C-alpha cells in the first residue's frame, strides 16, 4: 500500500513545518515546497530526501527535527511499507509480530539512535554520526554503502572504533533478519 503525495500528505508536512517555523506560510524551498514538487507521485526515498533537504534549509541542522516534516514522511513511508502493506515480506514471514524488510526504516534508525546514545551518553544524535548517516539512506534497502556510511558515523562518535552491539550492528541485524 503506497502513500501518494496528495493534499492530505502535504497538509501533514505543512503542519510539521509550522511547528518548527511558527509561521502560517510555508518557507520557500522548505519541506512543504519540496513535497509539493512531487504531488501525484508515490512517497519514496527521493521524496523523503527532498523533504529532508527542505527541512535542513529552515532548521540549519543536518538532523531531522523531532516530529518534523522528515519524521512525518518517514513515519508514513514506514507505515505503508510495513505492517499495513500486505506485501510479500509479510506473507513470507508468517506470523512473526515484526517484519524485517531489510530497509532503513524508522524502527531500524531508532535502534541505531539508541545505540548511538549509549555510546555518547547524549540524547541527541551527533552531527555526522551514525544516526545522521542512516537518515541519509532512510527508506532505502540496507546496502553495503549504507552500512559503510553508518560505520563511518559510528567511528566518528567512538574515536575510530566499531563497537560490539553498536549502531552498525543494529543495521546489520535488521539486514540479517530480513534474509532469514
What is the reported pLDDT for 97?
A: 42
The reply to whether 24 falls in a domain is yes
Does one domain contain both 167 and 131? yes
Quote the pLDDT of residue 88.
Answer: 36
Looking at the 3D structure of the chain, how many domains does it have? 2
Residue 86 belongs to a domain: no
pLDDT at site 39: 92
Rg over alpha carbons for the chain, rounded to the nearest Å, is 16
Per-residue DSSP letter, 22 = -
Strand partners, 141: 103
Show Cβ contacts of residue 52 under 8 Å, excluding neighbours closer than 6 positions.
31, 64, 70, 135, 138
Q: Where are the alpha helices (DSSP H) in 22-143?
A: 31-36, 45-59, 69-81, 88-92, 106-120, 130-136
One domain for residues 127 and 76: no
3-state helix, strand, coil in the chain (%, to 5): 60, 0, 40
Binning pLDDT at 50, 70 and 90, where does residue 81 land? low
Answer whether residue 90 is part of any domain.
Answer: no
d(CA 30, CA 162): 36
| pLDDT (tens digit per residue) in 34-53 | 999 999 999 888 898 999 99
40 located within any domain: yes
At 99, the pLDDT band (50, 70, 90 cuts) reads low
30 has pLDDT over 90? yes
2 DSSP assignment: P
Supply the range of the domain harboring residue 26: 4-81
Distances 94 to 1, 79, 86, 110, 163 between C-alpha atoms, Å: 19, 18, 12, 24, 33
pLDDT digits (tens, 9 = 90+) for 107-118: 888 889 888 888
Percent of the chain with pLDDT over 90: 32
Q: Which residues pair with 42 in a beta bridge?
A: 4
pLDDT score of 82: 59
Give yes or no: residues 117 and 75 share one domain. Answer: no
Q: Name the one residue in this structure whose C-alpha cell is 527542505.
A: 54
Amino acid at each position: 500500500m503506497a502513500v501518494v503525495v496528495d493534499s492530505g500528505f502535504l497538509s501533514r508536512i505543512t503542519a510539521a513545518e509550522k511547528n518548527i517555523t511558527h509561521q502560517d506560510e510555508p518557507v520557500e524551498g522548505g519541506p512543504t515546497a519540496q513535497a509539493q514538487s512531487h504531488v501525484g507521485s508515490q512517497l519514496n526515498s527521493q521524496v523523503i530526501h527532498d523533504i529532508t533537504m527542505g527541512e535542513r534549509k529552515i532548521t540549519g541542522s543536518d538532523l531531522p527535527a523531532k516530529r518534523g516534516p522528515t519524521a512525518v514522511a518517514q513515519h508514513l513511508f514506514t507505515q505503508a511499507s510495513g505492517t499495513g502493506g500486505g506485501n510479500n515480506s509479510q506473507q513470507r514471514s508468517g506470523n512473526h509480530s515484526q517484519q524485517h524488510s531489510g530497509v532503513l526504516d524508522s524502527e531500524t534508525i531508532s535502534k541505531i539512535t539508541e545505540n548511538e546514545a549509549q555510546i555518547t551518553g547524549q540524547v541527541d544524535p551527533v552531527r555526522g554520526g551514525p544516526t545522521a548517516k542512516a537518515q541519509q539512506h532512510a527508506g532505502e534497502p540496507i546496502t553495503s554503502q549504507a552500512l559503510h556510511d553508518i560505520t563511518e558515523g559510528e567511528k566518528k562518535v567512538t574515536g575510530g572504533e566499531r563497537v560490539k552491539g553498536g549502531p552498525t550492528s543494529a543495521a546489520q541485524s535488521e539486514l540479517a533478519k530480513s534474509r532469514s
